Amino acid sequence: MAAQHSDAVTAAIADRRRLVNEALPDDVPIVFPERLYEASRYLLDAGGKRLRPTMVLLAGEAIADVDPLSEDYREFPLAGGIDLMAAAVSIEIVQTFTLIHDDIMDDDEMRRGVPAVHEEFDLETAILAGDTLYSKAFENLLETGAAAEHSVRALSELAATCTEICEGQTIDIGFEDQDAITEAEYLEMVERKTAVLYGASAAMPALLAGADDYVDPLYNFGIDVGKAFQIQDDLLDLTASTETLGKRRGSDLAENKQTIVTVHARQQGVDVTDLVPDDDISAIDEATVEEAIERLEAVGSIDYARDLAHDHVASGRDHLQALPDNEARDRLGDIAEYFVEREY
């Protein structure tokens, strides 16, 4: 990606992140009982790149064919005027609820540089905070002011997406006890665990506006780049520095997680399970991790994953051709590139 594109996409995300951050306290206010809402807001307030709500907002600008950041997201010129920000926040809320529950399941102690919600508060409060955000996401999506028949479709999409995320998580957990996962199985898991929420993000403005022609192209764009996003996440676990990751690299290998890299390596005859022979990365010396990664590089698995991520980005960008040719559409394409270029 050329430097100017890189700057444009960084700015596009930063501008919308700021607006989303401003909107969050309005849409998820801290009310009685305060402890519940403080826990619900804790991870929301701890940061995050806000990539999914950014995608909602940009997709809205693309199909409304307006200049980026020229319109008030709270009174956005689609279908007579809708609160597009409410939909964007709704998606971020869903993402946050899944993280809170994931951290309980994985017993992860840190998230976004702060203690996980179940660490900062307690298990009960963390489960309830996740459950509260879950319904808040639906409540918020009901506040866009869209026509009822469009709201119903948007809610249906959000509910189906939440179900699929749970399915994807379950499939992913099941993979840890299986050796021979095919690439198709891996990609199906990633589609549900990660990509459907990007699909819902991109399609949401079209659903709320009843802009039927744009629903499928935007959804498919989100699915493709969502898969690319996850593949890049898998790659970063192997290639990024400990400093950038905030944890030791290779931890997925230690935990025997299935990634596209390990799926490919197994097909090349690599005994992936024994590459890093301990569940706990902190018990492994750096040389062993280095050697494992060199082996994955040698059999071409890292390049294969990188190529596959780029293929998905290209496929995703193709779907955008169905949209009006405008700056917002270009930024959506840039974000897709950013997903596979990012280093954290």
Binding residue for a second copy, selected from 2, 3, 4, 32, defined by CB under 8 A: 32
Please give the full DSSP string across 229-261, using - where no structure is assigned: HHHHHHHHHHHS-HHHHTS-TTHHHHTT---HH
Residues 85-144 that bind a second copy (CB under 8 A): 101, 104-105, 123-125, 127-128, 130-132, 134-136, 138-139, 142
CB of 19 to a second copy, least distance (A): 24
Largest CA distance in the chain: 61
Residue 258: phi and psi, rounded to 5, are -85, 125
Binding residue for a second copy, selected from 25, 67, 109, 163, defined by CB under 8 A: 163
Tell the residue number behind the tokens 């169905």, with chain if given.
Answer: 322
What secondary structure, in 3-state letters, does 257-299 show? CCCHHHHHHHHCCCCHHHCCCCCCHHHCCHHHHHHHHHHHHHC
35 touches a second copy (CB under 8 A): yes
Nearest residue to 340 (alpha-carbon basis) of 318, 298, 311, 297: 311
Q: Indicate the residue among 151 and 262 with the shorter CB distance to a second copy.
A: 151
CB of 87 to a second copy, least distance (A): 15
Which one of 14-22, 145-153, 178-186, 303-311 is the stretch in contact with a second copy (CB under 8 A)?
A: 145-153
Which one of 3-11, 165-173, 202-210, 331-339 is the stretch in contact with a second copy (CB under 8 A)?
A: 165-173
CB of 126 to a second copy, least distance (A): 10
30 touches a second copy (CB under 8 A): no
Contacts of 151 (CB under 8 A, 6+ apart): 141, 142, 144, 208
CB of 131 to a second copy, least distance (A): 5
CA dist., res. 270 & res. 264, Å (int): 9
CB of 82 to a second copy, least distance (A): 14
- Cα angle 11, 71, 226; round to 5: 50
Binding residue for a second copy, selected from 14, 173, 298, 314, defined by CB under 8 A: 173
Q: Which long-range contacts (CB under 8 A, 24 or more apart) does 265-271 make?
A: 265/295, 265/296, 265/299, 265/301, 266/179, 266/180, 266/181, 268/299, 268/300, 268/301, 269/299, 270/295, 270/296, 270/299, 270/301
CB of 21 to a second copy, least distance (A): 22
Kindly give the residue spans of alpha helices, DSSP state H, lying in 70-180: 84-106, 117-120, 123-141, 148-175
CA dist., res. 125 & res. 188, Å (int): 32
CB of 98 to a second copy, least distance (A): 8
| Count of residues of this chain found to bind a second copy when the rule CB under 8 A is applied | 40
The answer to whether the beta carbons of residues 171 and 193 sit under 8 Å apart is: yes
Which one of 1-9, 10-18, 58-66, 151-159 is the stretch in contact with a second copy (CB under 8 A)?
A: 151-159
Binding residue for a second copy, selected from 2, 3, 149, 177, defined by CB under 8 A: 149
CB of 31 to a second copy, least distance (A): 9
267 touches a second copy (CB under 8 A): no
Binding residue for a second copy, selected from 7, 22, 70, 156, defined by CB under 8 A: 156
70 touches a second copy (CB under 8 A): no
Residue type, position 67, single letter = D
The answer to whether the beta carbons of residues 141 and 56 sit under 8 Å apart is: no
167 touches a second copy (CB under 8 A): yes
Contact set with a second copy (CB under 8 A): 32-33, 35-36, 101, 104-105, 123-125, 127-128, 130-132, 134-136, 138-139, 142, 147-149, 151-152, 155-156, 158-160, 162-163, 166-167, 169-171, 173-174
